[in-house]
Amino acid sequence: MIDRRIMAAKEELYAKVTPRRQRQSRPSTVKHGSTLDVLLSMGFPKTRALKALVSTGGKNVQAACDWLFSHVDDPFLDDPLPREYVLYLRPSGPLLQQLSHFWQQSRISCGKNKAHNIFPHITLCQFFMCADGKVESLSDALQATVAKWKARIPMPVPLELYTTSTFIGLFVEEQVAELMKSFAADFASEVAAKADAHVEPHKKQLHVTLAYHFHASHLPVLEKLAKNVDVGSGCDWLAVLYSRDIRFANHETLQVMYPYVPQNDDELELMPGDFIFMSPVEQSTVSEGWVYGTSLATGLSGLLPENYINRADESDTWVVHGSYSILNCASPSNSSGSVGGLLFDGKLSDSLLDSIMEASSPSGLCPPMQVMRAASQPSLSKMRLFVCRHGERMDVVFGKHWVTQCFDSKGRFIRSNLNMPSSLPARGGGHRDYDKDCPITVFGSTQARLVGEALLESHTAIDFVYCSPSLRCVQTAQNILQGLQQDESTKIRIEPGLFEWTKWVSGTGLPAWLSPAELAAINLSVDTTYRPHIPISKLVVSESYETYIGRSFQVTREILADCKNQGNTVLIVAHASSLEACTRQIRGLTPQNPKDFVQVVRKIPYLGFCACEEMGETGVWQLVDPPILPLTHGPNHSFSWREMLMQD
């Protein structure tokens, strides 16, 4: 299956690469000099050496060697596919700070829109292709153009805010825009002469895009934030040449959060910090919970678990080939590096980005494949919210008739499998109450303790624990506290408002939950004095989706308000739906439609865990990396030695 995909991808890509205009009088130009010579002397074929130099921004021999060794099995390694290049003007200094603040605030308030895929910029030309052996000449062409145009473009560049229902941007005043277009035309001429490549200057109105492809309801907020951008702020503009891998121009860019060792031949090994390119077209035959993608670090393709990756920005994997100030006469920068490297979260930190832009030097950046992603450790002064799904439940493992099979005529529990608990507490309404309020399995308890132990190892203390009234959730919370060694010091607050969408409850009534006093009587660390924000009497059967989402948002917001200034970290242990329902609206986002909501929920595994962090005193929260690794597990079918081994 993978081989067929590779062949199809090759055919499609080759069809896009148009033949270059031939010039008989000009020999091929390779100007990587001693770096290329060293690679050739080491025995690397010239095509591979050039590909490595271009893919790493011509940084140095070590970076190129690392790339070659990591791509030794890349099926495209010897293919003469060119990369795609583009020339942008990038702001620096105070204006960049203004735009970065807009980017951050708009993302917090309204979520990510299409503009967030690429940094602030003015597009000067369309993407174009250039052979690997001529790439260094592109940088020479840019340097020559900038030298010719020094100080000819007035500063600050006059920008005017323009908004529609689907787009917000800053447009360059027409007279200055014409100068910029002339600059781009001169660059195109230099490229044609020096690198024998065709560049198409941007003919449309020049602008900095602030937002597009956003929800219509977000327009007022985005427009208000855009009006706060001081377009007259001091700024130098950098002419920066970028490249990207042509194979993945229409792919979604993802970043690996956790390491993964393949269990089957068609799976992809994952390294934290690496980037994965995923085409939606390739997902049609992939099983739920998995995606098919290609690694930036190795060029290999395969299946990978969906919960090991996060969405990244398109430009995170782009490579810099030259960066020059069009304002001052500073010496040109070392034109090497990768936009997506040297980072703490797969992206350039704001302070590092500012220093790079102000110094007009993107040098020193490392290829993403050399980056190990550091765990995001929130500041202890910030308030944090963890939301966790319960552990493995009895009725899913042993079927909905497990109660009938495991209780005798006198109501005594008799386990028939080692994954069943050795005993169960008596219920006021009899053992049939377990039909709607099942316990967790032995493995479910183990899962929860593993999470607690991981939190302990990460030096994470929990200040408050809130829990759905479902027994499986209370047992999970108890085991997490045991793993944390906080089961004696921290009490579980039972909050009916955290129960799952009541539409999913079978029958005509809600479960008959054990009361806090009954839970405490069976040695669960429950706070019997806690008064819930939403009592059981306020829950209704078969509530609407809007009611459930509103309830979850209300109770989460009130829990956080109660705990503010009393502790930093709150843990909610509830249901798969809670990870979405309890975090989405506190992040300033509108609820998803019910169909999309269900698709998210069905992919959340037992002990699925997410973390949110408050953004200062704004009351708005953002998702951050949890302090623990994910817990992955698979099905283990029942084994009968009598049936399996005593066959004739």
Among 29-38, 95-104, 301-310, 604-613, which is the least confidently predicted range? 29-38
Q: DSSP label at 373?
A: P
Q: Is residue 408 part of a domain?
A: yes
Q: Is the pLDDT of residue 19 over 50?
A: no
Q: Is the pLDDT of residue 157 over 60?
A: yes
Do 489 and 579 lie in one domain? The reply is: yes
Q: pLDDT tens for residues 465-497?
A: 999 999 999 999 999 999 999 998 999 999 999
The pLDDT assigned to 12 comes to 55
Q: pTM score, two decimals?
A: 0.53
Classified as helix, coil or strand, 99 is helix
Do 67 and 187 lie in one domain? The reply is: no
**pLDDT (mean) for 189-203:** 93
Among 137-146, 237-246, 301-310, 337-346, which is the least confidently predicted range? 337-346
Counting the structural domains of the chain, the total is: 3
* Boundary of a domain, candidates 275, 309, 325: 325
Mean pLDDT, the chain, integer: 84
Tokens (6 digits) for 245:
């891998």
Q: Is the pLDDT of residue 627 over 80?
A: yes
The dihedral formed by the CA atoms of 486, 490, 494 and 498, expressed in degrees to the nearest 10: -70
Do 534 and 611 lie in one domain? The reply is: yes
**Domain that residue 603 falls in:** 384-624
* Percentage of the residues of the chain whose pLDDT score is greater than 70: 85
Q: Which residues are catalytic?
A: 389-390, 575
Residue 161: which CATH number? 3.90.1140.10
Q: Is residue 364 part of a domain?
A: no
What is the Cα–Cα distance from 278 to 301, expressed in whole angstroms?
A: 10
Q: Is residue 336 part of a domain?
A: no
Do 91 and 203 lie in one domain? The reply is: yes
What is the Cα–Cα distance from 577 to 5, expressed in whole angstroms?
A: 35
Do 476 and 596 lie in one domain? The reply is: yes
Q: pLDDT tens for residues 280-299?
A: 888 877 887 899 999 999 99
Do 89 and 63 lie in one domain? The reply is: no
Sign (positive/negative) of CA torsion 579, 580, 581, 584?
positive
Banded pLDDT at 380 (limits 50, 70, 90)? very low
Q: Is residue 616 part of a domain?
A: yes
Backbone torsions φ then ψ of 245, nearest 5 degrees:
-75, 120
Do 40 and 156 lie in one domain? The reply is: no
Do 62 and 211 lie in one domain? The reply is: no
Reported as half-sphere exposure (CB side, CA atoms, 13 A), residue 388 has a value of: 36
Q: Is residue 189 part of a domain?
A: yes
Q: pLDDT tens for residues 38-94?
A: 888 888 899 999 999 999 988 788 888 989 999 999 998 888 889 999 999 999 888
**Averaging pLDDT over each range in 114-118, 411-415, 643-647, which range is the top one?**
411-415
Q: Which residue has the higher pLDDT, 401 or 635?
A: 401
Burial tier of 261 (Cβ tally within 10 Å: 0-12, 13-18, 19+): exposed
Q: pLDDT tens for residues 546-603?
A: 999 999 999 999 999 999 888 889 999 999 999 999 999 998 888 999 988 998 898 8
Do 56 and 172 lie in one domain? The reply is: no
Provide the H-helix boundaries in 17-90.
Answer: 34-41, 46-55, 61-70
Among 131-140, 283-292, 422-431, 518-527, which is the least confidently predicted range? 283-292
What is the Cα–Cα distance from 537 to 519, expressed in whole angstroms?
A: 19
Among 248-257, 320-329, 521-530, which is the least confidently predicted range? 320-329
Q: Is the pLDDT of residue 318 over 50?
A: yes
Classified as helix, coil or strand, 141 is helix
Nearest CA to 255 out of 336, 351, 357, 376 is that of: 376
The pLDDT assigned to 108 comes to 84
Do 439 and 581 lie in one domain? The reply is: yes
**pLDDT (mean) for 337-354:** 36
Do 175 and 235 lie in one domain? The reply is: yes
What is the Cα–Cα distance from 398 to 408, expressed in whole angstroms?
A: 17
Do 40 and 163 lie in one domain? The reply is: no
Burial tier of 379 (Cβ tally within 10 Å: 0-12, 13-18, 19+): exposed
